[in-house]
Structure 1
Amino acid sequence: MTADPDISRHDAAPLVRGVLALELSDDSVPARDAVGQQAAGALATRLGRDLGVLVPGVRDLDLVFAAAHFDPAELLRPGWPVHRRLEELRARAPQAGQGPRIIAFGADDKGETPLPFRADPELAGGRLRVLPYLFVGEPAATEAVSAHMESMLLDLGMVQADTALQAQDAFGARIEHARYLTLHDLLAMTALQYRNQGLEPLWDVLETALLAPADEIWLDAPPEPLLRHAEGEVRMALLGPDDWRRRCAPGEQDEGRLAHGLAMHEARQRQFAAVLQAHGVPVEFVHVTPGQDPRTALA
């Protein structure tokens, strides 16, 4: 279970994607989803300072930051849409003078979060919230920063105390730990988390959806659900009781255990679908005709 070591290889221009990761206290609920523009700029300046100390060359690049927090799944989606939006907004931002810029986005004057940075309320409630940032600049400098950050940030990227306190005050949440991660670090941490939650069989499919969305991959490992990823979506086989029994419990005769097993299989399908959809991967449930080869139904 490994994450692609070079997320940026699919980009036309080099950039460094990362997150400010905030681990909240168990009972803490952030008072705000995003902070105002002034507070966003102040937090971005602290972020640039912290990473400028840790990573040589960071101060030579543009920093683009959204002071809005998300569930990790919202950033780990095909095409990295939140980070892509940051890059689009950077391209439109005016250049005032020479040198690198710090560009921050927050809530508007009415306290509303702009749509690109509005988190999904259905995914709220987790202890880990992440705020996206980008570093962009000349290709050679950006690639050097990217390599350095990938090699050390996971181990050494602790947020300075005053930055963590500022984030805590800004969002109205009690923060236990705060650290800087690359997007690859976040992907690797998510892989580990899913393995610990019993979702390892799904990971190769999800990883393919994120890193190579045009590729085909199957999960065909009974008693797990049968599914196929191709052309950016997942198709999952819905089997009738007899076909499920032949595929997943061929030797079982007890009707009670069979009914329980089928119910557990259907719950597993719903779990897999929920995880994929949280990561922005479309899921289609395909009813398999009794007696039909389920792989043929998904092809």
Structure 2
Amino acid sequence: MQAHAAVALPLVLALEPVAGTAPARPTLTRDEASALAAHVADDLVRLLPDLAHTRLALAGALFDLVELLRPGFPVWSTLEELARRLPQAQLAQVVAFGSRDGRMPVQPLQPDPAFAQGPLRLLPIVLLAPAALADTLRQTLETELVGRGEAGTVCADALMRLFDVRLEHARYLTRDDLLALACVQYEHVNLAPLWTLLETALLDPSTGVTTQSARGLELALTAGTVRVSSPARWLEGQHGDGAQRRHAFAGAIFELRQYAALLEAHGLALALDGGSPAPAGLLLERFPAPTTAAPSRAYAHTAPGLGIVAVSVVQDTAETNRPHPLAHLYPLAPAALGELRALLAAQFGIEAWDSGPIALTDQGRLGVPGAALH
């Protein structure tokens, strides 16, 4: 059986360090990864003897869940591609890929240090199985790893020694197990709609899906991008007095920032539905400009603990004696404030702005102090 005719079965070896500890390094050298891969192979073959007929490929690197669960599953697909390239004619063998001077052989197998402190460290594995065995092995792995997936003592000891970390648990999971774990985690923190978007992007990217956040923001996945409805328009549909509406708007922006950060971590972009192009971490909602030219000014809406939640750009017009709205901007990350400042200068000629609490019109819309903003 040639490797190119085999079926890939993605797994992970999930490490749960003792609370308050973390692995001393994110990658293993090639020799270290090879030694660990041999222990992993022994564990899996003891569990399922038919796995002796597969090629086991292991990346000697620890990842976070968000790095593995990205559209196209780039870590697993890269590991699979490398395993298939090997020249050996026989499928059954164990191969490992490690680092040199801390760098893995290809970029997709290099862990991002930004995610190095997560509570679960994941070491990716791919099994290349003969087509005739693949379905049976897949089903058996799903069943057996649930109850018997703990790493063996020799393998667990090697993990603790190689990564210089104490472990509470080390166990094997299928990719479907990892998907189920992510689903539970996001549902537990009231982010089930996020999982709806992510699951579709991972498993059925050719289709779209529409959902609604816990606060009622409309979210739609289309062509690999998540589009969100206008927070200002959402505010128009809310009820309550001014204080309640301000609190609701701040909460919606906080929720939107959560979505933006997690979607980015999972490799998905967030854009404003019907919005204008804007730098990463910034949403831009523009309105038609008046026919009469006039200077523009901006007001930054702030909320306790969140900083600037929106910036409204208006143009004062003599015809209506009220400001004409030009744009709302929504910064979704601290790093976006520099981009916001540059965009205001480049597109509106604004170098400075007033700021204060979230300003609302008499109708409860997002406004600027002392005047209506429609």
CA RMSD after TM alignment? 1.8
Is residue 76 from structure 1 mapped to residue 69 from structure 2 by the alignment? Answer: yes
1:170-189 Cα offsets, whole Å, 9 max, x none, are: 11222111000000001101
Displacement of 1:224 in angstroms is 2.9
| Relative contact order higher in (CA < 8 Å, ≥ 6 apart) | 1
Match of 1:26 among 19, 22, 25: 19
Is residue 39 from structure 1 mapped to residue 39 from structure 2 by the alignment? Answer: no
Please name the residue that 1:200 is paired with.
Answer: 192
2:217–2:234 CA contact under 8 A, matched in 1: no
Match of 2:250 among 263, 267, 283: 263
Please name the residue that 1:133 is paired with.
Answer: 125
The verdict on how the C-alpha distance between 1:284 and 1:198 changes in structure 2, with shifts beyond 3 A counting, is same
1:224-280 Cα offsets, whole Å, 9 max, x none, are: 32111011111122322xx22333x2x31x211211110110010110111111111
Please name the residue that 2:175 is paired with.
Answer: 183
Q: Which amino acid aligns with 1:279?
A: H
Using the aligned pairs only, state the percent identity.
Answer: 37
Displacement of 1:32 in angstroms is 1.1
Please name the residue that 2:103 is paired with.
Answer: 112
1:199-222 Cα offsets, whole Å, 9 max, x none, are: 112221111011011111111367
Displacement of 1:223 in angstroms is 2.5
Structure holding more strand per residue: 2
Distance 1:137 1:221 in 2: 41
1:61–1:142 CA contact under 8 A, matched in 2: no
Displacement of 1:118 in angstroms is 1.0
Distance 1:13 1:213 in 2: 24
Instruction: Answer with 1 or 2: which has the greater Rg.
Output: 2
Secondary structure of the residue aligned to 1:148 is helix
1:135–1:142 CA contact under 8 A, matched in 2: no
Distance 1:257 1:99 in 2: 64
Displacement of 1:119 in angstroms is 1.0
Please name the residue that 2:262 is paired with.
Answer: 275
1:14–1:143 CA contact under 8 A, matched in 2: no
Please name the residue that 2:84 is paired with.
Answer: 91
Distance 2:216 2:91 in 1: 54
For residues 143-154 of structure 1, what are the structure 2 equivalents within 5 Å? 143-154=135-146
Structure holding more helix per residue: 1
2:76–2:124 CA contact under 8 A, matched in 1: yes
Q: Which runs of 5+ in 2 are unaligned?
A: 276-284, 288-374
Count the aligned residue pairs.
272
Q: Which amino acid aligns with 2:71?
A: P
Q: Which amino acid aligns with 1:131?
A: L
1:225–1:268 CA contact under 8 A, matched in 2: no
For residues 214-233 of structure 1, what are the structure 2 equivalents within 5 Å? 214-220=206-212, 223-233=215-225
Is residue 124 from structure 1 mapped to residue 116 from structure 2 by the alignment? Answer: yes
1:15–1:143 CA contact under 8 A, matched in 2: no
Q: Which amino acid aligns with 1:112?
A: R
Normalising by structure 2, we get a TM-score of: 0.69
Normalising by structure 1, we get a TM-score of: 0.86
Q: Which amino acid aligns with 1:177?
A: H
Distance 1:132 1:152 in 2: 18
Q: Which amino acid aligns with 1:239?
A: P
